[in-house]
Structures are given as C-alpha cells and as structure tokens.
Amino acid sequence: MTTNIFLSEHEMPRAWYNLAADLPHAPLPPLAPDGSPVRPEQLAAIFPMGLIEQEVSSQRWIDIPEEVLALLYRWRPSPLQRAYGLERALGTPARIYFKNESVSPAGSHKPNTAVAQAYYNKLAGIKKLTTETGAGQWGSALAFACAQFGLECKVFMVRSSYEQKPYRKSMMRTWGATCIPSPSSTTRAGREVLARMPDTPGSLAIAISEAVEEAVGDPSGSTRYALGSVLNHVMLHQTIIGLEAKKQLELAGERGPDQVIACVGGGSNFAGLAFPFVKDKIEGAEIEIIPVEPSSCPSLTRGSFIYDLGDMSGMTPLLPMHSLGHEFVPASIHAGGLRYHGMAPLVSAAVEEGLLSPRALPQLECFEAAVAFARSEGIIVAPETSHAIAQVIREAKRAKEEGKEKVILFGLSGHGLLDLSGYESYFAGQLENIELSPEAIERSLACAAAYPKARDFALA
Amino acid sequence: MTTNIFLSEHEMPRAWYNLAADLPHAPLPPLAPDGSPVRPEQLAAIFPMGLIEQEVSSQRWIDIPEEVLALLYRWRPSPLQRAYGLERALGTPARIYFKNESVSPAGSHKPNTAVAQAYYNKLAGIKKLTTETGAGQWGSALAFACAQFGLECKVFMVRSSYEQKPYRKSMMRTWGATCIPSPSSTTRAGREVLARMPDTPGSLAIAISEAVEEAVGDPSGSTRYALGSVLNHVMLHQTIIGLEAKKQLELAGERGPDQVIACVGGGSNFAGLAFPFVKDKIEGAEIEIIPVEPSSCPSLTRGSFIYDLGDMSGMTPLLPMHSLGHEFVPASIHAGGLRYHGMAPLVSAAVEEGLLSPRALPQLECFEAAVAFARSEGIIVAPETSHAIAQVIREAKRAKEEGKEKVILFGLSGHGLLDLSGYESYFAGQLENIELSPEAIERSLACAAAYPKARDFALA
C-alpha cells in the first residue's frame, strides 16, 4: 500500500514524446496572413531555431539536452501519489492517482517547458525573453528558468490576475524578472486595447500581442518571445509528465489507467499528462481521456475548429484550433490559466480524431471539489487544477454507483498558495457560475466565421 | 552526480529518536509554580497521555504508529537535495546539501509533529485542539492534521504575522480551522495584554496563554492544546528529518556532514534535523552543529539559562531553557516563527553540554541570502529558513578562502510563498537590521533574574 511512487533520476525519461508522429492524420501547419503555410524562417524573429525545429518536427522521440535534465532533476521525477484520503471520503471503489507537478520551484508544471525554452534561447545567444502570463504560473516559471541561465525576463500579466494574485509579481521579482499588468501603455497593442476597452480585465490574447511586440521590436535583435502553452514544442516539453506517470503506474502494479483527466486552458498541462496515453489509445488501449475546461471559456466544447489568431492583434500566425475567436475576452474567473480563447493545435487535432472526450465545468463545483480535496488529501490546489478534481469526483461517484473498480489518473498541475484570495471569495459566497450568454456565443461564432474552417484543410 | 536523493517509503525510519536518552546529563524536569517537579498527571488537562509519556520518556527509540506513518507518506521521505546551483554561484569547494521540508502540504516541517499530535489526541477521544502560531506555519500544519482526523481546530495567530501574511488564515480556513489574531478579546489573558499594551504586535508567549486558556476552559473536557515547538515530544516527532537525511547522505556517498546548520526559534526545526547528528557527535564524530537565530530575538546567544515560563501569563510550567524572559516581545521581523523568548529545553541542554555552536544573524543578510538562493537554486524560502542559508553562505565562503572541501547539510524548513510581502518589503528597502538595545537586554535580564537559574539545578 504505497502512497507516493518516486522514481530515481536514472529512471527519468531521456526523450520527449511528439504526438505529431502518431496522429492518424498529419497535423495542419500554421498559416501566414496570406493563407500560405508558415515557413520556419518566418518564425525566427520570435523563436530560436532549436525550438522552431521542434515546432515543425514529426520525429517521435526528441532527446532532452543534458543541461535541461540537470535542472529538471531539481524537482523531477515528480511524485505520483495515490489519493487514499479522497477515495475514503468518497467511498469509491475507484483507485485514484495523481501526478503532482506542484512540487516544482514555481509550483506548477510550467517550469518543464520554461527550462527547455530558456536553454534553447541561451544556446542561440539570446539575452532577454518576453512573455505573457494568466494566473502567473507561466510567468513565474519563466522568471525562474531565466534566472538559472542568466537571461533577462519581462512578463505581461493579464490585469485581472495581476490584481487577484499580487504575490505572483513578488515571486517573479525575487527571481529577477519584471512583471507589468496587461494591457499596458508600453506597447502599441496595449494602447489600442486600452483606447477601445479602458476597463478590460485583460486576456491572454492581449498579453501575447504585447509580449511579441516587445520581442520583435528590440533593435538589437537579442530578445525573443516565449509562449507557455498552445504551441507544439510546449506540448512536447510537457510530455515528461505522462511518460513518468506511465512508469510510476507500472511500479504501483497497475496495468494502466482507465481514465486520464486533466484541466485544459491552452493545452500544455493536459497534453503533458495525456499525450503518452493518447499514443496507447491510438495503438488500441481502452482509455477515456478527458480534458476539462471552464464553462465560462469552453473552447473545446463550444468553440469552432478554425484557423484563428493566437493573439488579439495579429502578431501570431493563424493556428488550426478550437477557438472562441481571438476577440473573446473570458470572464475574470480565478482559474486565470484557463482563460484562453483557443486551444493547442495538437490537442485540437486529437479531439478531431475522436481521441479525447472534453468536458466543461462550472466554477462553483470546481471550488467545492478543491476544498474537498484539501480536507481529504491536504493539498490546496490551483483553481485550474480544481477543474480536473471536480471531474475526478464525478467519475469516482459514478464508479461507486456502478460498483466498478477502475483506475483514474489525474494531473495535479499546481498548488493554489498564490491563489488563496480565490478560496476566500469562494468561502465568502462571492463567486458564481459564469456561463456564456447566447450573445457571447453568437459574437464568438461571428468572429470565428471570418476565419477559414480548419476542417476544410484537414479534408483537403 | 545526483541532485535529488529520494528514499522509498520502506526506507523511511519507523521510530523517532529521543536525544534525552543520550545527553551526558539527564535533562532537567519542568517545575510547577511552587518549584516542585511537574508530575505527568498535572499536564493531563493540557495534553493527552500518549504525548505526556513521550514528553517525560528517556527511551532512545519510540515507534511511530502506523496511522501516523500513513499520513507522513503523503510527502515523506522528503528529498535531500544537492545545491549545485548555489555552490556554483559561490564558487565554493564545499558540497552543500539541504533537506527539503517545504514539500509538505502546509509547506514546512511542522506537519511532522502536527500529524502525530492530532493522532494521539484523537486516540484519547479529544474533539478539538487549540494552538498558537507565529508566521502561520504551525497553525496551518495543525489545521491540515486536524482535517485528516476530523478534529476541530482553533488557532491564535500573533497579530503582526496575521497582518503580514493574510493568506495563512485562508489556508487554515480551507482546511476547516478558525484563525483569529492574538492578543484577542476572547480570553482573559488576551484582554489583560490589550489593556496594558493596546498596540502590541503580539508574541508567541501571549498567543500560547490564550490557546491554553481556551483549552483548559472547555467545560466538556474534550479540548486540548497543541504546541508546535519547544517541548520534548515535538523535538522527538521532528527527528524523522535528520534520520532520513543521514540515510540520504550515505546514499549520496558522503561519510557524513562536517557542518549541520538550521534556523532556530522554539527549536523544533533545528532539533529535527540536528539531533540524530548530535547523537553522532556524542559518540565521537567531528561535526559542527550550528543553530541560527535572529539577532533581534537571540535567546541562545544573549539569553540566560533559567527556569522560565513558556508563555506570558503563567499558564505553562517553568521550563529549563535559554530565555530572554517571558515578558520579552520581539520586534516584528518577517521570520515570525523565530519570535520566541525561550528555547526548547533539549536544545538548551545540548548547548549547555557544549554540543552546539549557536549564531545570531541580522535580518538583511538573511533576506540577501534568500534572494541569492532563489536565483541560484530556484526555491523561494521562508524568512525563517533564510537564517540557515545566510550561515551556509558564510561557511561556504570560508571553505573557499581556506580551500577546504567540506560537507554542509542545512535544513530547508519551509517555502516562503505565503511570506512574499516580506520579500516585497526587502526589495522596497523598507527592512532594517534590528539589534537588541542595551535597555531591552537589561529588562530581559531583570525578568530572567527573578527566576531560578537552571544551571544551579543542573549542578545539584
């Protein structure tokens, strides 16, 4: 009866897994504004070549550089833990395991890719990275990684999160980074948004525009932009989570999970845990794989599969993804990391292939689940993670009703110690469920309609 | 070149180590107000018998109950980590290891004893625990532990910390506990202090008085008090830290540490890491063992070894300890967990036996060390822990000057994610070094002079 399944360093995976190699249909390329596929060189002003190569790679396994491994060892392999306390509280016959990414220095899965991105930029002689952040998980992860490689770091933080989670900026500052609220008046993109919507809570799409503008606008050419989710190379770096979890489940004596559950915003936490199991599913394993999104920002369950912009002002190529439209500004829910209008192209493609079973859940059920988890297991999770836990509780209760033993694996993407104001608001009864209004959906569909349907390309 | 040394669950120690069994002179007993040794029965209104037996035990090894082990497994064995990043930043030939207790649900070493204390109280049929907390580490640990055993929990939090670290109370609330600032108007002890010193920042001594009063005043008799440090049974429960660290250092191929360094307030973090090595030192090993305290609250380096009260209003027995006097109200430094006028009797006894080499360090050097550690190693530590790191940096620089290889082991007692306002104040230049004024020392000595010198008893 083992609670924590640790791996030693020499058992840690030495290569990342690239789902693009195994999807039944080859993934769609990003498109330039004129509709032609983006050539790798066109991305060179934004990303270093090491990452661009990974972005377009169809190689199944990509070696993790030694320098990256050396930093990952600081908190990896991360523990896989059996949730005995939650199982007991629910009286479920299900065996529930979670992969605990909250043990990283920045408190979430984000450093897995931050370290890799800082490494490839350093290798290319870059001196400074810019980025956006929602709840602050990604911004602090990149600040941490930049400190390890001696890179400067500037973070545009979505205003609503900047105000809800003031200590995130202190964290970034402690690692030597600067963090300002977005939209800001320091970029053209930010000023344009402020002129149109002076009271906007901000969005990841806006913050991305600002961060990309600052990177490509550096006349010295030594600044690049880093994205914490959505892109293929980010999904790639996160697969170490699921690769470790597979080994650990084996050590726990399980033949594998029946269900894999993770919250999904841009897609990186979900992809990291799930893609190695998607591979098994493609090869015939019976696994239900569930990405869980907030019902107030339901790109997978209510969005359209289109070629859409990754940001608000058109600094990025068109990406083939499930999207609510790049003009969509999500409500200020506390799960700031899930407030993104689109979805990673690889996650979107896996949905189109019928490999995933997305769900959307309301905020209150998620906070209730988080409190139940804190009291039964002890860990106070991030509001993002609470979406996965709410779904786990639904599935564990169903297993009880059906009297079915099953193995549920979920991703504990991060702790909520910088999100305690959200818990306070929940206890004070100040939170509500936010569903999309019919008008919002109509606006979203109208925005989406102006962009090419990605499915047309997939069929072509 | 291993960074993280994990142990598996079956390698975790199954018994706690009791230093009382090995000290050259038997430890002095606590005294009742009339000067007679306290009989175990007299403590029964405050603690359950299982803990009282441990408090007075001279048995060397005490088995850890299975129910306690099952909960410790959630985060234990905790990692021992080699600080390659810090070593490189300092260019030192020293090999620096730290035992990382920040991975516990409450973020510090405190749950090690909270779980054990909640267990023995539950076993005795107790329904509710009261306690005090400084920075909030202990209060949240007990809240976590009580949630696991279905106990009610009420925490009196020192007012200055309550205001500096508002999210600590959210954490306790998430685990179902209540937390109020101390001194409060809900107890006689609190009201008396407020009448005398309406603007007091509070102190652990005051908060202890309040918590004990609330426990013994419950007419149903089903409430007890839990102390997070100072007492023998608390030191005992924390020794799992050092016992694990010894095994891990062996696995890392080290013959043992040359120096063991930990911050010290009431003594539990220090004792937990150090006592198993104090045993080795008693048996002849050459180890320098350094407790580090804040220069604004220097009980070990400036206090007197006396029989003093553990609290302000005399709810506790007289304890043989290094003390600044129970009337001493420490300055509002951010290391709230180190703001205690006295020192654990077992730690005090080890100092008297010449086994320890205490140091006192100023606040600014400690914050500077914490920032250097965050940037080189990635972990943002608690202000308490920063005292250990500042001393480690001194020792590592000395090793560099002397060209000496040596092995330094230090205790990373907790993370600082709920203490980021302290880092903000540091960056804003708002912090200063607070040394005791000659008047404060005189007042402290005068208070101490009214109490019996413990050394007289030791010689008797």
Per-position DSSP letters for A318-354, written without gaps between them:
EEEEEES-TT------S-GGG--SS--HHHHHHHHTT
pLDDT over threshold 60, residue A149: yes
Q: What's the rounded Cα separation, in Å, for the pair B377 and B79?
A: 14
Which pLDDT tens digit goes with each residue over B6-62? 898 999 999 999 999 999 999 999 998 778 889 888 899 999 999 999 999 999 999
Measured over the CA atoms of residue A169, residue A172, residue A178 and residue A181, the dihedral's sign is: negative
d(CA A104, CA A115): 11
* Alpha-carbon gap, residue A110 to A411, rounded angstroms: 13
Q: State how far the Cα of A441 lies from the Cα of A447, in Å rounded to an integer.
A: 10
Nearest CA to B239 among B432, B13, B45? B13
Q: What is the mean pLDDT of residues A287-306?
A: 95
- From the list B84, B175, B378, the residue facing A144 with the nearest CB is B378
Instruction: Name the strands in the sheet holding A178-182, side by side, starting at the edge strand that comes first in the sequence.
Output: A178-182, A152-158, A128-133, A223-225
CA distance B300 to B264: 9
For residue B327, what pLDDT is reported? 84
Look at residue A34 and tell me whether its pLDDT is greater than 90: no
Mean per-residue pLDDT, B391-401: 98
- What mean pLDDT value characterizes chain A? 94
The verdict on a CB contact (< 8 Å) between B4 and A9 is yes
Model confidence at A330, pLDDT cuts 50, 70, 90, reads confident
What's the pLDDT score for residue B183?
Answer: 96
Tokens of B144: 């976590």
Q: Give dist(CA B116, CA B54) in Å, integer.
A: 11
What was the pLDDT predicted at B460? 43
CA-to-CA distance for A170 and A311, rounded, in angstroms? 26
Residue B443: band (very low, low, confident or very high) from pLDDT cuts 50, 70, 90: confident
Picking from A2, A3, A421 by the largest number of B CB atoms within 10 A of its own CB, the best residue to mutate is A3
Is the model more confident about A152 or about A441? A152
What are the CA-CA distances from residue B364 to residues A175, B46, B264 (Å)? 17, 39, 17
Residue type, B308: D
pLDDT for B122-180, tens place per residue? 999 999 999 999 889 999 999 999 999 999 999 999 998 898 888 999 999 999 999 99
Does residue B217 have a pLDDT over 50? yes
Nearest neighbour of A375 by CB, restricted to B107, B176, B379? B176
Judge whether B27 and B93 are in contact, CB under 8 Å. Answer: no
pLDDT band at A41 (very low <50, low <70, confident <90, very high): confident
Instruction: Return the residue of A nearest to B73 by Cα.
Output: A3
Token look-up 């260019």 returns: B91
Which of B260, B223, B267, B227 has the alpha carbon at shortest distance from B245?
Answer: B260
Chain B residues with CB under 8 Å of A135 CB are none
Look up the ipTM and state it. 0.93
Q: Is residue B444 scored above 80 in pLDDT?
A: no
Give how far Cα B77 sits from Cα of B105, B241, B243, Å. 13, 8, 10
Which chain A residue is nearest to residue B369, measuring alpha carbons? Answer: A174
Interface of B with A (CB under 8 A): 2-4, 6-9, 70, 73-76, 81, 84-85, 103, 105-107, 111, 144, 147-148, 167, 170-171, 173-176, 371, 374-380, 417-418, 420-421, 423-424, 427
Q: What's the confidence (pLDDT) of residue A455?
A: 66
pLDDT band at A453 (very low <50, low <70, confident <90, very high): confident
For chain B, give the percent of residues with pLDDT over 90.
81
* Contacts A379 to B, Cβ<8 Å: 105
> Domains of chain A: which residue ranges?
68-107+233-459
Interatomic CA distance for residues B184 and B256, integer angstroms: 47
Q: Are residues B3 and A148, on separate chains, in Cβ contact within 8 Å?
A: no
List, for residues A350-363, the tens digit of each pLDDT value: 999 999 999 999 99
Q: How sure is the predictor about A418, in pLDDT bands with cuts at 50, 70 and 90?
A: very high
A308: pLDDT strictly greater than 60: yes
Q: How far apart (Å, rounded) are the C-alpha atoms in residues B46 and A358?
A: 53
Amino acid identity, position A89: A
Nearest CA in chain A to B102: A103
Residue A4: its chain B contacts at CB < 8 A? 9, 73-76
Q: Do A171 and B417 touch (CB under 8 A)?
A: yes
Contact A371 B427 (CB under 8 A): no
Average model confidence (pLDDT) for chain B?
94
Structure tokens at B4: 């993280």
- H helix intervals, A252-298: 268-282
Task: Tell me whether residues B421 and A374 touch, CB distance under 8 A.
Answer: no
Q: What is the pLDDT of residues A187-219, one digit of tens each?
A: 999 999 999 999 999 988 899 999 999 999 999
- Indicate yes or no: CB of B175 within 8 angstroms of CB of A375: yes
Sheet with B223-225, strands from edge to edge, namely B178-182, B152-158, B128-133, B223-225
pLDDT tens, position by position, A50-70: 999 999 999 999 999 999 999
Please state, in angstroms and rounded to a whole number, the distance separating the CA atoms of residues B335 and B332. Answer: 8
Q: pLDDT at position B132, please?
A: 95
Find chain A residues with C-beta within 8 A of B171's C-beta: 380, 417, 420
pLDDT of residue A434: 86
pLDDT at B456 (0 to 100): 67
Helix (H, G, I), strand (E, B) or coil at A202: coil
A128 has which bridge partners?
A: A152, A223
Q: Taking 60 as the threshold, does the pLDDT of residue B298 lie above it?
A: yes
Kindly report the length of chain A: 460
pLDDT confidence of residue A459? 46
| Whether B253 contacts B155, CB under 8 Å | no
State whether A167 and B427 contact (CB < 8 Å): no
Q: What is the pLDDT of residue A460?
A: 43
> What pLDDT, on a 0 to 100 scale, did the predictor assign at position B1?
65
Instruction: Kindly list the residues from chain B whose CB atom is less than 8 angstroms away from the CB atom of residue A173.
Output: 423-424, 427
Domain B68-107+233-459 belongs to what architecture?
Answer: 3-Layer(aba) Sandwich (3.40)
pLDDT for A49 equals 96
Cβ-proximal residues to B156 (8 Å cutoff; 6+ apart), any chain: B130, B131, B132, B133, B180, B181, B182, B184, B190, B207, B210, B211, B214
Chain B residues whose CB is inside 8 A of the A377 CB are 74, 105
For residues B321-327, average pLDDT: 91
Q: Is A169 helix (H, G, I), strand (E, B) or coil?
A: helix
